[in-house]
Structure 1
Amino acid sequence: MIKAVDRVLDHLTMYRLVLYYLMVLLVAAFAFSFVKLVPHDPLALAFTTALALAASWITNKAFELVFEIPANNESVYITALILALILDPVAATDLKGVGAIVFASVWAISSKFIFAVGRKHLFNPAALGVALSALLLDRPATWWIGGSLWLLPFVLVGGILVVRKLRRLDLVATFVIAALLTILATTERSLYGDTLRETVSSSPLLFFAFVMLTEPLTAPTTRWSRIAFAAIVGVLFAPNVHIGSFYLTPELALLAGNLFAYAVGPKGRFVLTLERIERSAIDSYDFIFRSPRGLAFEAGQYLEWTLGLNRSDNRGNRRYFTIASAPTEATVRVGVKFYPQSSAFKRELMTMKPGSRIHAAQLAGNFTLPAKRETKIVFLAGGIGITPFRSMLQYLLDREEMRPIVILYGTETQQDIAYRDVLGAARRKLGVRTIHAVARDAVRGQYPGYIDERLIRLAVPDFPERTFYISGP
């Protein structure tokens, strides 16, 4: 069952999964509102959702034209649906209510462009929109989505899928624990039971954790800074936390956390210009970009890449790709494998010409070389999964740094072997052995078949002493 779920998740981007999750919550809320299980008028809920979507889309389109940034309609729809789920629904005749929804939507989208450094926004858009609505219009978020016991199963199941997709259990768990401990610390002991039940079943805690907290562009990318971020937001999230007579709200807690995330995280978004395309193997190509400013990263890390697509598919216009170049190289390289039925993103990528531009952000990843140079390593790569190892090997070559590394590289055919030049240079100059496991047309000196236990025992007899890095299918 878990493997089947993972296969489904693999075909969805994080943004598309969150979008579907929010749509399911709204449909469920709309259905329950007809039978009074959700205390809102279904027509008001439908109108508010349409209003938030329209205001958000129009605002984003205007800024997109001014700033010449590729549109990511999924994030616009996600922001609008979040606002519809945390602001009280309004009727078309409630002019003040309509103004508040439009105000929150416009500022939520505008914040991505106005409150941005290096084209990377600082604050969670929905959180900023509702915070300004509360402070300036006295129309705070009610977080009604967290107050319905009937919607709790939908919030929980969808949220677990999001966390599984993002691999952010540490983030969510730290936040929930910090929030609950702070809530208990500021509550009378005799009320612990009721407080815990109320917090888990009838508060924004879970929706906030699954949807708002995990928003990747405004959360830290490294593990320990991510945990610190979650703890800070969790403590400030508690309803009894206040500064004098000013009580914090969930959105203000998140905005404070966003400032911390910016302080400890990589700064800005990169606009990269394509310099050339190189073929690395059959159906695999390296796209080599120039950056207007230096990109500081560790070998093995990845970026989120964004393209403007006229027509997207269910995987959207963003992808996470490992940086195949080394930090010591002047250009930024990404290696991509193309299949007969490639996604819209990859089809658009193949149409790029020298001079074309792509946006990159969210530098992250802990798949990096160990700090201790004497650590024994095995790089176990399948197909295009060799890209992070290309980055590491080129980095070691440029630094003339020798490490005890063995590479096991599995491919279907000889033509699928990528980066022969770097692998060869690593063997000659650094003494790094590469053992090729070729499934269909192995030649002398190669292992016929796939990487398996027998190959590992033959090629790496001291495998219990080594750290294995595994990348690829």
Structure 2
Amino acid sequence: MIKAIDRFLDHLTMYRLVLYYLMALLGTAFAFCFLKLVPNDPLALAYTTALTISACWVTNKAFALVFEVPANNESVYITALILALILDPVAVTDLKGIAAVAFASVWAISSKYILAIGRKHLFNPAAIGVALSALLLNQPATWWVGGNPWLLPFVLIGGILVVRKLRRLDLVATFLVVAIATVLATTEPAQYGAAFKETLGSSPLLFFAFVMLTEPLTAPAQRWSRIAFAAIVGFLFAPNIHVGSLYFTPELALLVGNLFAYSVGPKGRFVLTLERIEETTADSYDFIFRSQRKLAFQAGQYLEWTLGLDHSDNRGNRRYFTVASSPTEQSVRLGVKFYPQSSAFKRALGAMKPGATIHASQLAGDFTLPSDPKTKIAFLAGGIGITPFRSMLQYLIDREEVRPIVVLYGTEGQDDIAYRDVLGLARRELGIRTFHAVAKGAKRGQYPGYIDARLVVWSRHLLERIEFETFRL
């Protein structure tokens, strides 16, 4: 069952999954309005949704043209649908309500461009939009989607899929534990049961955790920073927490957390200019970019890469790829395998010419070399999945740092072996041996077939039967 779910999730990008989740919630809420299970007018809900989508789309198009950055329509629709789910639906005759919804929508999108440092926005767009609406127009978010028991199962099921896709269980679990603990700590013991039930079933706690808290651009990527972020937001989320006369709302709690996330995370976005393209295998290529400022990262980490697409497909215009270059190299290297039926993103990437630009952000990843240089390691990789190890090996070569490492590299054939130069240099200069497992046409000295238990045991003998950490990709 879990494997089937993972296969399903693997065919969706994170943004597309969240978009489908929000669409399903809105569709369910709309149907429940007719059944009187959700106390909203269905026409008002439909009108409000159309209003948020229109206002967000127009605002984003305008700012994208002014700032000359690729527009991501998926993120625009996600923000619009979140606003439709947390703001009170307005009727076509409610001019004040219409103004408030439009105001929140415009500010939610414009904050991504105006309230940004180094082209990286500071705040969750929906949170800043509704916070400003409450502060300036006295039209706060009601978070009605989180307070309806009939919608709760749908919030929960879709939210679990989002957390599974993002691998952010630590983030969500920490937030939930701290938020509930804080609620109980600020409640009379006699009211614990009622407070616990209300927090889980009649508050925006779960929707907030699954949708708002996990937004990757305004949350830390590193594990311990992520946990601290969740704890801060969870503490401030509790309704009885206040500073003087200021009581925190969910959106204010998240905005404070966003400031913390910015303080501990990588700063800004990078606009990378393509210098050249190198063929690494029969169907894989390295795109070598230059950056106006130094990209500080650890070997093995990844970036989110964004391209402006005229016609996107269901996978969107963003991808997460490992940085194949070493921190010691001046250029930024991206290794990509192309298939006959490649996505719109890869087709656009493959059509890039020297001088073209791509946007990169969200530097993250814990798949890095151990801090102890004596740790014995086996690198297991297949095909183009060797990119993080290319980064690590080049880093060790440039630093002349010898480590007890063996590389197990599996490919279909000889033409699929990438980075022969780096693997050979690591062998000659650092004594790091690579064992090639070649499924078809293995040569002398290569293992015929795929990486299996026998080859892994062989590598263990090579490392003198001492326990080692195995990095799998």
TM-score calculated relative to the size of structure 1? 0.99
- Alignment deviations for residues 378-400 of structure 1 (CA, whole Å, 9 cap, x no partner): 00001111000000000000000
CA contact (8 A) 1:304 1:318 kept: yes
- Is residue 285 of structure 2 the alignment partner of residue 277 of structure 1? no
Residue 190 of structure 1, CA deviation: 0.5
- Tell me the secondary structure at the aligned position of residue 314 of structure 2: coil
Residues 100-123 of structure 1 show CA distances to partners (whole Å, capped at 9, x for unaligned) of 000000000000000000100000
| Paired residue type of 2:468 | R
Distance 1:150 1:401 in 2: 59
1:429-454, CA deviations, whole angstroms, 9 ceiling, x for partnerless residues? Answer: 00000000000110110000000001
Report % sequence identity.
77
Q: 2: CA distance between counterparts of 1:239 and 1:301? A: 38
Question: In the alignment, residue 345 of structure 2 is paired with which amino acid?
Answer: F
- Alignment-derived partner of residue 121 in structure 2: 121
Matches within 5 A, 1:116-155: 116-155=116-155
AA in 2 matched with 1:23: M
Question: How do 1:3-14 and structure 2 match up within 5 A?
Answer: 3-14=3-14
Q: What SS does the corresponding residue of 2:280 show, helix, strand or coil?
A: strand
Q: CA offset at residue 459 of structure 1? A: 2.9
1:244 matched residue in structure 2: 244
Is the Cα–Cα contact under 8 Å of residues 375 and 469 in structure 2 kept in the other structure? yes
Change (3 A) 1:347 1:95: same
**What is the CA-CA distance between 1:458 and the residue it aligns to?**
2.0
How far apart are the structure 2 equivalents of 1:403 and 1:166?
Answer: 32
Distance 1:33 1:216 in 2: 32
- Cα distance, 1:11 vs structure 2: 1.0
Alignment-mate amino acid for residue 71 of structure 1: A
SS at match of 1:187: coil
SS at match of 2:367: coil
Contact 1:221 1:365 in 2 (8 A): yes
* 2:358 partner SS: strand
Shift of 1:460: 2.4
SS at the partner of 1:368?
coil
Deviation at 1:412, TM superposition (A): 0.4
1:159 CA displacement: 0.3
Distance of aligned partners of 1:12 and 1:161 in 2 relative to their CA distance in 1, 3 Å threshold: same
Q: Which runs of 5+ in 1 are unaligned?
A: none
Q: Which amino acid aligns with 2:153?
A: P
Structure 2 partner of 1:311: 311
Residues 36-115 of structure 1: pairs in structure 2 closer than 5 A: 36-115=36-115
The residue number in structure 2 matching 1:289 is 289
Distance 2:308 2:7 in 1: 27
Q: Equivalents in 1 of 2:299, 2:404: separation in Å? A: 17
Residue 331 of structure 1 and its aligned partner are, at CA, apart by 0.2
Aligned residue type for 1:338: F
Asked whether the equivalents of residues 312 and 345 of structure 1 are also in contact (C-alpha less than 8 Å), the reply is yes
Q: Give 1:213's aligned residue.
A: 213
- Aligned pairs (5 A) from 1:351-370: 351-370=351-370
Match of 1:224 in 2: 224
Q: Say which SS state the counterpart of residue 408 (structure 1) adopts.
A: strand
C-alpha separation between the residues in 2 aligned to 1:4 and 1:88? 37
Alpha-carbon distance between aligned partners in 2 of 1:288 and 1:213, rounded to the nearest angstrom = 34
What 5-or-longer segments of structure 2 have no aligned partner? none
In the other structure, the counterpart of 2:398 is 398
Distance 2:305 2:95 in 1: 41
* Separation (CA, whole Å) in 2 of partners of 1:467 and 1:327: 23
Q: Look up the SS of the partner of 2:159 in the other structure.
A: helix
Match of 1:183 in 2: 183
Task: Note the 1:249-260 alignment, pairs <5 A.
Answer: 249-260=249-260
8 Å contact kept, 1:406–1:460 = no
Query: Aligned letter for 1:296?
Result: A
CA distance in 1, matches of 2:130, 2:106: 11
**1:249 and 1:386 mapped to 2: Cα distance?**
45
Partner of 1:158: 158
Structure 1 residue 246 displacement after superposition: 1.4
Partner SS for 1:286 = strand
Give 3-state SS (helix, strand or coil) of 1:281's partner.
Answer: coil
TM-fit CA distance, 1:463: 5.7
Answer yes or no: is the 8 Å Cα contact 1:456–1:463 preserved in 2.
no
Name the structure 2 match of 1:261.
Answer: 261
Match of 1:18 in 2: 18
Question: What letter corresponds to residue 225 of structure 1 in structure 2?
Answer: S
Alignment of 1:427-442 (within 5 A): 427-442=427-442
For residues 316-331 of structure 1, the aligned pairs below 5 Å read: 316-331=316-331
State the secondary structure of the residue aligned to 1:465. Answer: coil
Shift of 1:245: 1.6
Q: Distance in 2 between matches of 1:352 and 1:94?
A: 49
Distance change (3 Å), C-alpha of 1:463 and 1:147: farther
In structure 1, what is the equivalent of residue 343 of structure 2?
343
Matched AA of 2:45: L
How far does residue 374 in structure 1 lie from its aligned partner after superposition? 0.5
Determine the C-alpha separation between the residues in 1 that align with 2:103 and 2:277: 45
| Contact persistence 1:322–1:388 (CA under 8 A) | yes
Distance apart, 1:276 and its partner CA: 0.2
Contact 2:183 2:238 in 1 (8 A): yes
Query: 1:56 touches 1:106 (CA, 8 Å); kept in 2?
Result: yes
In structure 2, distance between residues paired with 1:253 and 1:186: 16
Secondary structure, in 3 states, of the residue corresponding to 1:90? coil
Q: Distance in 2 between matches of 1:348 and 1:459?
A: 40
- Would the alpha carbon gap of residues 463 and 347 (structure 1) be closer, same or farther in structure 2, given more than 3 Å must change? farther
How far did 1:464 drift? 5.7
CA contact (8 A) 2:378 2:459 kept: no
Per-residue CA distance 1:87-106 (angstroms, 9 max, x = gap): 00000100000000000000
* Matching residue of 2:455: 455
- How many residue pairs match? The answer is 471
Counterparts of 1:335 and 1:244 in 2: how far apart (Å)? 53
Aligned-partner Cα distance in 2 for 1:271–1:66: 16
Q: Distance in 1 between matches of 2:457 and 2:68?
A: 54
Please say if residues 394 and 422 of structure 2, whose CA atoms lie closer than 8 Å, have aligned partners that are also in contact: yes
Residue 304 of structure 1 contacts residue 363 of structure 1 at CA under 8 Å; is this kept in 2? yes
Match in the other structure for 1:408 = 408
Q: Provide Cα deviations, 1:313-355, integer angstroms capped at 9, x if missing partner.
A: 1110000000000000000001000011111100110000000
Question: Does the aligned pair in 2 maintain the 1:47–1:90 contact within 8 Å?
Answer: yes
Residue 380 (structure 1) aligned with residue 388 (structure 2): no
Please list every run of at least 4 consecutive aligned residues from structure 1 whose deviation after the TM superposition is greater than 2 angstroms.
none
Distance 1:61 1:316 in 2: 17
Give a deviation string over 1:139-191, Cα, whole Å, max 9, x none: 00000000111100110000000000000000000000000000000000001
